[in-house]
Amino acid sequence: QLQLQESGPGLVKPSETLSLTCTVSAGSISSSGYYWGWIRQTPGKGLEWIGNCYYSGSTYYNPSLKSRVTISVDASKNQFSLTLSSVTAADTAVYYCARLPRMLPFDYWGQGTLVTVSS
């Protein structure tokens, strides 16, 4: 069964860059028809879609975060990554990676990783 696993620092300082990686196992990130996305969850704002990527490199970002977000794919490692620059306390959240089949919602999710922004 497909599995996704987030990894990265759990603590990031304000104004620095948050970097997370999602490793996909028991399936190929290069499979046609599947996008790969990042979603975050905070007690205050709930679930927030960050963006999606395709194995070809095409990306779609939430306009609210677009100026600070980059999502990239490393097909050779079966991974995709999220970077969020100039973080503040408002970026403290549980970050999830997930699979997004074409014309369908997120069907497989990682377990989530808590990232705290604090000095």
The site for another protein (CB under 8 A) is made up of: 46-49, 60, 62-64, 96, 98, 104-107, 109-112
Pick from 53, 55, 106: nearest CA to 83: 53
Q: What's the closest the beta carbon of residue 76 comes to another protein, in angstroms?
A: 26
Q: What's the closest the beta carbon of residue 19 comes to another protein, in angstroms?
A: 20
> Which residues touch 32 (CB under 8 Å, ≥6 apart)?
none
Amino acid in position 17: T
**Strand segments (E) across 10-58:** 11-12, 18-25, 34-42, 46-53
Q: Residue 16 or 48: which CB sits closer to another protein?
A: 48
Q: What's the closest the beta carbon of residue 41 comes to another protein, in angstroms?
A: 9
Q: Residue 16 or 27: which CB sits closer to another protein?
A: 27
